[in-house]
Amino acid sequence: MIAYLVRHAESLTNAALSRSLNPDLSPLGRRQSEALAQRFGRLQITAAYCSPFRRCLETVLPISEARGLPIRIRPELHECHHLPAGTRVENELPPLDEITRSCPLARVCDDWAGPVVWPPADERGVDLFARMKSFASYLKSRWGDADEAVLVVSHGSPLAKLVDAWLSEHPGPSYRYVVDNAGVSALRWKNGVSTLLCLNEMSHLIGLPSPEIANYESDGSLKKVPPPIR
């Protein structure tokens, strides 16, 4: 099994055009999502898993619409907001039935057991690692050695920790792995071996403007100085 990990395309908040915790994609983000749809257009994708946030649903929608593929919402793929301990904020997510009404291809993953509960706003790093470890175990158990490819659309920190959890039993330091908006990474599970095939691959975005927070230039070269985090 191969899992393609995709961080959502640029959101209005990433572009400093909003302060919402549940923003839509920016105009550039919509172009990035179309570039992703072209990239995945030639690949056979068996299942698409997604965070419930609008920026993730809007990112995966062109891919799912092109092939009539249901979007399976998984609570583990929820954003991590990196807020101080004790912080209480609204994540701005509407009820699940409203999410699925606004995005007809979206539904709670059919093999999710129990109530859908989102992580707290002030989630600790070790808890983020634990939920991504749980999701990694789910993927390995669900798909096993099958010659299938699945898509996982989420956020920068959860996807970076999913790579960590895929390869390690214990969490590594923050920012060990970096994932840009609309970046593609790939993990493989075969014969009991966990492999990282690629990390933050950006070739599909060459020619599009390079956002301030990106680690790459519009020609695909890498920036020498780390960008701001937003």
Q: What are the tens digits of pLDDT across the range 12-26?
A: 999 999 999 899 999
pLDDT given at position 88 = 63
Residue 57, domain extent: 2-205
Does the structure show a pLDDT above 80 at 85? no
Flag whether 195 is in a domain.
yes
pLDDT band at residue 68 using 50, 70 and 90 as cut-offs: very high
Summarised one tens digit per residue, pLDDT across range 98-126 is: 999 999 999 999 998 877 888 877 788 89
Indicate if the pLDDT at residue 42 is higher than 90. Answer: no
User: What are the helix and strand counts (H, E) for the chain?
Assistant: 5, 7
Where residue 86 falls among pLDDT bands split at 50, 70, 90?
Answer: low
Task: Judge whether 222 lies within some domain.
Answer: no
Mean pLDDT, range 39-50, rounded to an integer: 95
Give the pLDDT confidence score for residue 79 in this predicted structure: 93
Let me know if residue 66 belongs to a domain: yes
The answer to whether position 96 is within a domain reads yes
Per the structure, the count of domains in the chain is: 1
> Is 226 part of a structural domain of the chain?
no
How high is the mean pLDDT of the chain? 92
Check residue 95 and give its pLDDT.
Answer: 85
**Chain mean position to CA 182:** 9
Amino acid 84: pLDDT:
62
Is residue 219 situated within a structural domain?
no
| CATH classification of the domain holding 88 | 3.40.50.1240
Cα–Cα dist 55/134, whole Å: 23
Evaluate whether 64 touches 46 at the Cβ level (below 8 Å).
Answer: no
Residue 94 pLDDT greater than 90, yes or no: no
37-45: long-range contacts (C-beta < 8 A, 24 or more apart)?
Answer: 37/62, 37/63, 37/66, 38/204, 39/184, 39/204, 40/4, 40/151, 41/66, 43/4, 43/149, 44/149, 45/4, 45/69, 45/149, 45/150, 45/151
Residue 149's DSSP bridge partners are 2
Q: Is 213 a domain residue? A: no
Is residue 129 a part of any domain in this protein?
yes
Local structure of 64: helix, strand or coil: helix
pLDDT of residue 89: 65
> Which whole number is the average pLDDT over 21-38?
97
Q: What is the pLDDT of residues 166-224, one digit of tens each?
A: 999 998 888 789 999 999 999 999 999 999 999 999 999 999 999 888 999 989 899 98
pLDDT score at 90: 66
Q: What is the distance between the alpha carbons of residues 108 and 112, in angstroms, rounded to a whole number? A: 7
Task: Write the CB contacts of 127 (distance below 8 Å, at least 6 apart in sequence).
Answer: 119
> What band does 226 get if pLDDT is binned at 50, 70 and 90?
confident
Residue 46 pLDDT class (50, 70, 90 cuts): very high
Average of per-residue pLDDT across 46-65: 97
